[in-house]
Amino acid sequence: FAAAAGHTSLALADKPLTIGFSQVGAESEWRTANTVSIKDAAKQAGVNLKFADAQQKQENQVKAIRSFIAQKVDVIAFSPVVESGWDTVLREAKAAKIPVILTDRAVNVSDKSLYVTFIGSDFVEEGRRAARWLLERAKTLPAGDINIVELQGTVGSAPAIDRKSGFEQEIKANPNLKIIRSQTGDFTRAKGKEVMEAFLKADGKKINVLYAHNDDMAIGAIQAIEEAGLKPGKDILVISIDGVKGAFEAMMAGKLNVTVECSPLLGPQLMSIARDVKAGKPVPKRITTEEGVFPAEVAAKEFPNRKY
């Protein structure tokens, strides 16, 4: 061992950064792409990544974070499934002097020093963008009420809360736009389909527009619309958020009208910020992802450029 001592100290100096990451789950195409991005970026950056999938359950995330604290990781990062209920475990991380980075979703804590930074999209703006597309489209529709049904994301999650409020703020500009039903589909295809079936049973032909908080729920709902003998994209306009490949395919098939982009490719940014945090460099408290809006008309042209 003595002979190897020199190597050992070198290895210690180069000790790779260890990040404990608690992921929400695998509920959507978005989430799968996000996980791939984080794992790939960690590999590329030589980061030792401890990855835990919480299967959409906050209690599993709390457990994962506690285990990262026990393992004394350098940095804890996580995408909080819901906004509230994080104070205790984040205080434990702070007491252990382990910095916390939020990715993708925000938390609602009174003490903002419980996390160093939040990297992710502006979900309120995404909701506004979805509504703005509809406000424009509404100008071409016959006069009278435009009945909207809404598929919300996971109850209590930042994207569900914010996408709802951004959309509602904006559609007020046209009093004919009315949300007649709104229910959660938990960001999954299966639930999106199930809830849309219930909407169709209740209101059938009255429904003019579906606003889904993510593409997966929209894709599930499209199936329900077709099974009900209606044409998604025509009889019922379909608006969603994320911009995953499945959404572009649905647009090219004429079944989805628009998707508002929300990028899951947060891995590289997370690795470089984690390094800065570990090195004691100051980082911005909020890092907002830049994204666009893709209506069906540009889907075929944009499809080859899509990375998720």
* Distance of closest approach, residue 44 Cβ to ligand GYE, in angstroms: 23
**Distances from the Cα of 149 to the Cαs of 49, 233, 237, in angstroms?**
41, 14, 10
* Distance of closest approach, residue 126 Cβ to ligand GYE, in angstroms: 8
Q: Which residues pair with 21 in a beta bridge?
A: 51, 77
For the chain, give percent helix, strand, coil, nearest 5.
45, 20, 35
Whichever of 121 and 208 has its CB closer to ligand GYE, that residue is 121
Query: If we measure between CA atoms, which residue out of 78, 81, 84 comes closest to residue 65?
Result: 78
- Vertex 100: Cα angle to 214 and 308 (nearest 5): 30
* Distance of closest approach, residue 176 Cβ to ligand GYE, in angstroms: 28
* Distance of closest approach, residue 174 Cβ to ligand GYE, in angstroms: 25
Of the chain, the end-to-end C-alpha distance in Å amounts to 48
Q: Which residues bind ligand GYE (CB under 6 A)?
A: 27-28, 30-31, 104-105, 159, 187, 214, 216, 241-242, 262
Please name the amino acid found at residue 273.
I
Up-side HSE of residue 149: CA atoms within 13 Å toward CB? 30
* Distance of closest approach, residue 85 Cβ to ligand GYE, in angstroms: 17
Q: Residue 33 is inside which H or E element, if any?
A: helix 29-45
For residue 32, give every residue at least 6 positions away whose Cβ sits within 8 Å of its Cβ, in sequence order, or none.
Answer: 26
* Distance of closest approach, residue 270 Cβ to ligand GYE, in angstroms: 14
Whichever of 100 and 228 has its CB closer to ligand GYE, that residue is 100
- Vertex 260: Cα angle to 255 and 261 (nearest 5): 120
* Distance of closest approach, residue 267 Cβ to ligand GYE, in angstroms: 14
Whichever of 187 and 199 has its CB closer to ligand GYE, that residue is 187
Q: Residue 87 is inside which H or E element, if any?
A: helix 87-95
Whichever of 138 and 265 has its CB closer to ligand GYE, that residue is 265
Whichever of 241 and 258 has its CB closer to ligand GYE, that residue is 241
CA gap 153, 242 in Å, rounded: 12
Whichever of 102 and 146 has its CB closer to ligand GYE, that residue is 102
Whichever of 225 and 262 has its CB closer to ligand GYE, that residue is 262
